[in-house]
Structure 1
Amino acid sequence: MNRSVIPFSYQGAQLLGTLDMGLASGATGLLLVSGGNEIRSGAWGGQAWLGAALAREGVPVFRFDRRGVGDSEGENRGFRASGPDIAAALAAFRAAAPHVKRVVAMGNCDAASALMLHAATLPGLDGLILANPWTVDGENETAPVHSAAALRRHYLRRLADPRQWARLLAGKVALGKLAGGLRTAAAPQAASALAEEMRAALASYRGKVTILLAQGDRTAQLFASHWGADPRVIGNPGTSHSFADAPEWLLHQVLAALGD
């Protein structure tokens, strides 16, 4: 497996990407978009691992730092404004690997949201793999609150556990916190303007879309509650937002999506 650093530019800022390619590289490549303010190696090096694993399977993989993140110059303007960075990375990928005829982009968390918002305007993007998309309005939120549906499942499990009743009767449960949680669980799910914006933007995209959800992850649960039923969703029972507890499952799903 060969790994090389690829510099490219956008509006005077130099950005850096990493290209992973095996000795035998196919005509379908993966553009990996980092979520949050993570560098291109991803959380706990997950994207670097995935890039290497896919390269060994013959899939060229391009990862990059958007402006103002990691090794890239410029101002970090957040995921909503990252469309031009993704377009520049896509062009750099195609220039560095001209044998690649088909490119699928993958993003986790707000990188998935960015792809949903911008994919229809990105030339030459043939498919999307969207993992645990972010649906909380406001980019500066550190973590989403529990969805009402997730809280209802949580309290139903606790009500069925005799040990929890014993803790309640013994005064070991914070009643104020319990009451607040029950009120949230009983409330209807608040709408997400970001989710509806993503839905509208994705509706005009014509490539194949695969959505991967870690069903025990709060971000994924919130997305599912806002998004509703979708035949494109593939779930995993794990709890890791970056699928650190299911790397082989993730690799299998990405390979399957790339092969369609």
Structure 2
Amino acid sequence: MNRTVIGFACEGETLFGTLDMGLASGAVGLLLVSGGNEIRSGAWGGQAALAAALAREGIPVFRFDRRGVGDSSGANLGFRASAPDIAAALAAFRSAAPHVKRVFALGNCDAASALMLHAALLPGLDGLILANPWTLDAENETAPVHSAAALRQHYLRRLVDPRQWARLLAGKVALDKLAQGLRTAAAPQEGSALAQEMRAGLAAFTGPVTILLAEGDRTAQLFRGHWGSDPRVIGHQGNSHSFADAPEWLLRQVMQAIRPG
């Protein structure tokens, strides 16, 4: 595998990306889009490790820092304004690896949201892999609360646990917090304006789409509540938002999405 750092322009700023290529690189590549303020190596180096593993399998990978993040200049305008960054990275990827004929994009959290919002407007993007998409309307929202669906599952587990009944009868349960949790669990899932925008954007995209969810992750649980049933969803029984607890599973799912059959 060889790894090359590449600088490229985006609306007057200079962005930096990293290209991972195997010795026998194929015609299908992956564009890795980072979420939030995360640099292109990813949480705990997860994106760099995924890129290296895919390159060894003959899949070229390009990952980059959007404006105002990591090595790239400019101001970080958030995921809603990241379409020019993604388009510039896609063009840089195709220029640096002209043998790549089809490009899939993988984004986690608000990077997945950005791809859903903008993919139909990005020429040369052939498929999407969306992980734990962010559906809260405010970009600067703190860590999401538990969804109603997740709370219902939580209380159903407690109802069949004799130890929890013993704690309740012994007065070891805060009744006000219990009542608040039950009210939230009983309430219907509120809609999300962002999720509706993402749905509309994704509907305009004509390529294949895979959605990966860590079932124990609160962002993924909120996405399920806002999004509803979707046959494109593949769930993993883990808690890590970045799939740090399942790197091999993530690698298999990405390869399956890129090379179906």
Equivalences for 1:170-209 in 2 at 5 Å? 170-209=170-209
- Provide Cα deviations, 1:183-239, integer angstroms capped at 9, x if missing partner: 111111100111111001111111111111111111111111111111111111111
Q: Is the 8 A contact 2:22 2:57 kept in 1?
A: yes
Equivalences for 1:40-189 in 2 at 5 Å? 40-189=40-189
Q: Is the 8 A contact 2:33 2:108 kept in 1?
A: yes
Ranges of 4+ aligned residues in structure 1 off by more than 6 Å: none
Any idea what SS the aligned residue of 2:252 has? helix
Q: Is the 8 A contact 2:5 2:19 kept in 1?
A: yes
1:166: Cα distance to partner?
A: 1.5
Q: Does 1:35 align with 2:35?
A: yes
Q: 1:160 & 1:138 partners in 2: Cα distance? A: 37
1:115: Cα distance to partner?
A: 0.1
Q: Which moved more, 1:81-90 or 1:169-178?
A: 169-178
Q: TM-score, with normalisation over the residues of structure 2? A: 0.98
- Provide Cα deviations, 1:47-99, integer angstroms capped at 9, x if missing partner: 01100000000000000000001111001000011001000000000111111
Aligned-residue Cα RMSD (Å) equals: 0.8
1:171: Cα distance to partner?
A: 2.1
Q: 1:142 & 1:39 partners in 2: Cα distance? A: 20
Q: Is the 8 A contact 2:11 2:84 kept in 1?
A: no
1:44: Cα distance to partner?
A: 1.1
1:145: Cα distance to partner?
A: 1.4
1:157 is aligned with what amino acid?
R
Q: Which runs of 5+ in 1 are unaligned?
A: none
2:110 is aligned with what amino acid?
D
Any idea what SS the aligned residue of 1:67 has? coil
Q: Which runs of 5+ in 2 are unaligned?
A: none
Any idea what SS the aligned residue of 1:213 has? strand
1:106 is aligned with what amino acid?
L
How many residue pairs get aligned? The number is 260
Q: 1:173 & 1:48 partners in 2: Cα distance? A: 45
Q: 1:73 & 1:142 partners in 2: Cα distance? A: 26
1:168: Cα distance to partner?
A: 1.6
1:119 is aligned with what amino acid?
A
Equivalent residue number for residue 254 of structure 1: 254
Q: 1:16 & 1:245 partners in 2: Cα distance? A: 28
Q: Which moved more, 1:231-240 or 1:83-92?
A: 231-240
